[in-house]
Structures are given as C-alpha cells and as structure tokens.
C-alpha cells in the first residue's frame, strides 16, 4: 500500500507543479464568463447598430396586419408579387411576405421570400402573428368578440409538492431539479473524458520512454496502475475544488457589483421579516427560493462525490489498460471507441429520458447499469430517488469498478512490457486469459 501512495504522490505532485496546471486552474473559471460576455456584447452591439429590416407584405385579402418589432418593420402596399420580389432582389426590401386569398378554416399558401435564409425565431414570429389574426377573424365571423375572450384568458400555475413516507411535504420545481441534474451529470461526463485521457496519455508516454520497465522492477503493475489512476484523479478533484472557490468568489463580486446576491445569502436573509415581505410580493421569486431552501444539498453533494469518484475509477482503469496496450495515441483510437459508447449513451439518455421522466423504466436502468449510472443517476438524484434504487446503483457501481479494474489489470500487466507488436481485440482477450 505504501508503494501505491508513493505513485499517487508522484503523479499528483508532477502535475500540480506544472505551469499548465496553474494556468488552466486559474483561467478556466474566467474563460466561459468572458466568452459569454463577449457574445452578449456583440449581440447587443449588433442589435443597436443594425439597420431596420423592412418586410414588404402583399395581402390579397386586405385582412392582415403585422406589428413591427425589434429591427423588423412591415410595409403594406398594393404592389404585385413580382414587384415585391424585384424589391427584394434590388435590396430595397429585406424580405417579402405573400398572403394569397385563403380559407380561414384552412389557411395555406402563405410564402415568405428573402435574400437570405430566415432565422427560426423570425419564421416562428411570423407564424404566431398570422395565427393570432386568423383566430380573431374566425371569432368575428362566429359573432364572438375577441376582446371578451381575451378578458377571460388566465394563467394557471401548479405548485408541485412531494410527499415522503412519513407524510412530510416538500416544495419542488422541475426547472430547478433539471438544472441541478444537468449540471452535475455533464460535469461527471467531462471529468471522465478529460482525466481518463490524461491517464492514457501518461501511460503511453512512460511506456514509449521505457520508464515503465524501471518502475515495474520495484512495484507491481497493478499497484502502479492504481496509483496512477488515484493520483490523476486527485489532481482533478483539486482543480475542481479550486474552481468552485474561484467561481463562487467571482460570482459574489459580479453580483455585488450589480447590487445582487448569491442564492445562499438571500436564503439566509429570509429570516428577516422585511425580506420575507418583499419576497412574498414576487410570486416567482418566492416560489424558487422556497424550493431552493428545501433541497437537500448535502445528500446531492454526497451522491455527486460518490458517482464523481466511482465513475472516474471505473473508466480510468480502462483508459490505463488501453494506454498500456498500445505504443502511440493513434493506435489507441480503435480501443477508445467501445468505452466511449456507454458514456455517450448516458449523455444522450440524460437529456432524452432521465431529466424528462426520471421515474421511467429506461431512466431506472440507465441509473443502475454501472457504465451509465455515474451520469444518469445524478439526473434522477436531483428529483429525488428511492433509497433502494440508490443503494442498488451504488453497489453495482462498486462491483463494476472491481470487475473492470481486475480486467484492466490483466491487460496492463502484460501490455506495458509489449513493444512493436500490433494489438487487436483478439490479443487483448488473450492477455485477459493469461494475466
């Protein structure tokens, strides 16, 4: 065990002392806010400086009217469709909307002509405006006053409450749960890929330089592999914790500059009666804060740490085995694909099934199978998951890690001393049987 710790220490210190580690750790929390800020600045600048886009409308029904909005203005005239097309081609008009004689019960044949492909939001806006107008015209034909109908329209909001076995009630919000599940699941996905590749690259480099042959003369291959996996994982956790501190600090400064507060600060001030009165005056804010205050962040954090580490160890052993089996990164690509497929299944399953319906059968199985559970279970955990499901998933992940480590160790033991030979899946199977 002492030799494993020495390998862990060597891998950890060798990486955290690099300038690249310090730069990546410090700059990464600044990169994404900076990129978003630049995009927002460009978008705002374009919106302010962009010329007005005039859309020519030819309405053969003389019934439609579209309100100008943002940088779009609608011009209604008696021009023919051919004349309107020429205006678009000459650049006098940004686009041309043609509304032929239509049946209000089945409006078809409406066409938009433009010098460039219209955006999805623009087309959706046109369709929405025309739809509202058609509905108004149909109501008028039926003798219904649209204003009366509009006066009776209302918005109904449902407050979701979960009941546990003891009968305790807890507020919940699908948007908040979705956000937590999305963030934690994607974080584990990225972590496994980034640091799994670091393990593979490190093993390939040591094997190519023949350093590995010196190391295995004084330490068992399994201990060397385990120490490398744990050491690089510790580097990732260190980087992750530093990012949390930096992002929290930067967020506090930025929000403070705009006179806002972090959510936990707002929650702490909820005990103040004046603050409670202010929050209660805003239904949306009150609902969101009430949900956030009832979330069991300790349970989610512990679940995240378990799957964060468990998923990394499970896949890390495979990346180490691949690195030991090949002589160059290009040779490793054929073996990386099979272990990335379960990760991709978990990634897409998180969006398509788990976050949409965490109680479905497919969400259950994605969160139970060890190769997909590190990502999928975080999507379910954010909504609340039965203890049995969580315990079963964790147990299977531990068993999965032990199994994959046992298989990877057999490949690693033989592969690190093999040079120059072309490795195939048949070769790997042979090493597993002989290891």
With respect to residue 162, please indicate whether it lies within any of the assigned structural domains: no
With respect to residue 158, please indicate whether it lies within any of the assigned structural domains: no
Q: Could you tell me the CA-to-CA distances from 226 to 280, 403, 412 in Å, in that order?
A: 54, 14, 11
CA proximity to 116, closest of 45, 55, 42: 55
CB 434 within 8 Å of CB 251? no
Structure token digits, residue 91: 């650049």
Based on the domain organization, do 324 and 357 belong to the same domain? Answer: yes
Phi, psi (rounded to 5 degrees) for 317: -65, -35
pTM: predicted TM-score of the whole model, two decimal places: 0.71
Q: Each residue of 225-254: b (16+ CB within 10 Å) or e?
A: bbbbbbbbbbbbbebeeeeeebeeeeeeee
With respect to residue 95, please indicate whether it lies within any of the assigned structural domains: yes
The per-residue pLDDT for 279 is: 43
Cα–Cα dist 402/317, whole Å: 10
Beta-carbon count within 10 A of 191 CB: 21
Report the CATH number that the domain containing residue 85 is assigned in CATH: 3.40.190.10
The per-residue pLDDT for 252 is: 66
Based on the domain organization, do 91 and 232 belong to the same domain? Answer: no
The per-residue pLDDT for 256 is: 58
Residues β-bridged to residue 55: 74, 95
Q: Which domain holds residue 116?
A: 53-152
Based on the domain organization, do 223 and 97 belong to the same domain? Answer: no
Based on the domain organization, do 334 and 249 belong to the same domain? Answer: yes
Based on the domain organization, do 372 and 225 belong to the same domain? Answer: yes
Question: Of 123, 152, 181, which closes a domain?
Answer: 152
The per-residue pLDDT for 347 is: 93
pLDDT digits (tens, 9 = 90+) for 176-194: 888 888 999 999 999 899 8
The per-residue pLDDT for 209 is: 76
Angle at 168 between CA 164 and CA 170, to 5 degrees: 85
Question: Of 102, 121, 152, which closes a domain?
Answer: 152
With respect to residue 261, please indicate whether it lies within any of the assigned structural domains: yes
Based on the domain organization, do 278 and 135 belong to the same domain? Answer: no
Phi, psi (rounded to 5 degrees) for 160: -85, 135
- Which of the residues in the chain have pLDDT under 50? 258-260, 264-282
The per-residue pLDDT for 101 is: 87
CB 312 within 8 Å of CB 233? yes
- The domain total for the chain is 2
Based on the domain organization, do 72 and 143 belong to the same domain? Answer: yes
Based on the domain organization, do 123 and 216 belong to the same domain? Answer: no
Based on the domain organization, do 310 and 403 belong to the same domain? Answer: yes
Based on the domain organization, do 335 and 399 belong to the same domain? Answer: yes
Cα–Cα dist 373/383, whole Å: 15
């Amino acid at each position: 065990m002492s030799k494993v710790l020495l390998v862990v220490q060597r891998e950890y210190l060798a990486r955290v002392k690099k300038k690249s580690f310090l730069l990546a750790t410090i700059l990464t929390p600044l990169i994404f806010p900076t990129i978003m800020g630049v995009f927002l600045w460009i978008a705002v600048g374009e919106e302010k400086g962009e010329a007005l886009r005039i859309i020519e409308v030819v309405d053969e029904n003389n019934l439609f009217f579209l309100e100008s909005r943002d940088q779009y203005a609608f011009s209604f005239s008696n021009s023919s469709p051919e004349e309107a097309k020429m205006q678009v081609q000459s650049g006098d008009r940004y686009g041309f909307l043609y509304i032929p004689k239509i049946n209000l019960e089945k409006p078809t044949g409406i066409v938009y002509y433009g010098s460039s492909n219209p955006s999805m939001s623009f087309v959706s806006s046109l369709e929405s405006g025309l739809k509202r107008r058609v509905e108004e015209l149909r109501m008028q034909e039926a003798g219904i006053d649209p204003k009366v109908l509009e006066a009776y329209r209302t918005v109904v909001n449902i407050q979701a409450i979960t009941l546990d076995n003891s009968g305790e009630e807890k507020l919940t919000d699908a948007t908040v749960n979705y956000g937590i599940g999305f963030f934690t699941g994607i974080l584990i996905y990225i972590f496994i890929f980034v640091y799994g590749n670091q393990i593979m690259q490190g093993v390939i480099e040591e094997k190519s330089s023949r350093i590995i042959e010196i190391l295995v003369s004084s330490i068992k291959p399994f201990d060397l592999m385990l120490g490398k996996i744990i050491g690089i994982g510790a580097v990732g956790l260190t980087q992750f914790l530093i990012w949390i501190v930096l992002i929290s600090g930067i967020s506090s400064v930025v929000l403070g500059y705009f006179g806002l507060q972090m959510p936990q600060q707002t929650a702490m001030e909820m005990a103040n009666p004046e603050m409670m009165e202010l929050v209660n005056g805003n239904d949306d804010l009150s609902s969101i804060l009430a949900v956030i205050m009832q979330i069991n962040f300790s349970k989610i954090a512990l679940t995240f740490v378990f799957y964060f580490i468990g998923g990394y160890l499970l896949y890390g052993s495979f990346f180490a085995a691949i690195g030991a089996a090949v002589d160059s990164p290009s040779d490793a690509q054929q073996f990386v694909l099979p272990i990335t497929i379960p990760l991709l299944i978990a990634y897409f399953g998180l969006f398509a099934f788990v976050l949409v319906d965490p109680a479905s059968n497919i969400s259950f199985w994605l969160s139970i199978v060890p190769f997909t559970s590190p990502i999928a279970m975080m999507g379910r955990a954010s909504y609340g998951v039965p203890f049995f499901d969580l315990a079963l998933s964790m147990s299977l992940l531990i068993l999965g890690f032990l199994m994959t480590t046992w298989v990877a160790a057999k490949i690693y033991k033989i592969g690190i001393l093999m040079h120059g030979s072309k490795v195939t899946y048949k070769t790997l199977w042979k090493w597993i049987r002989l290891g």
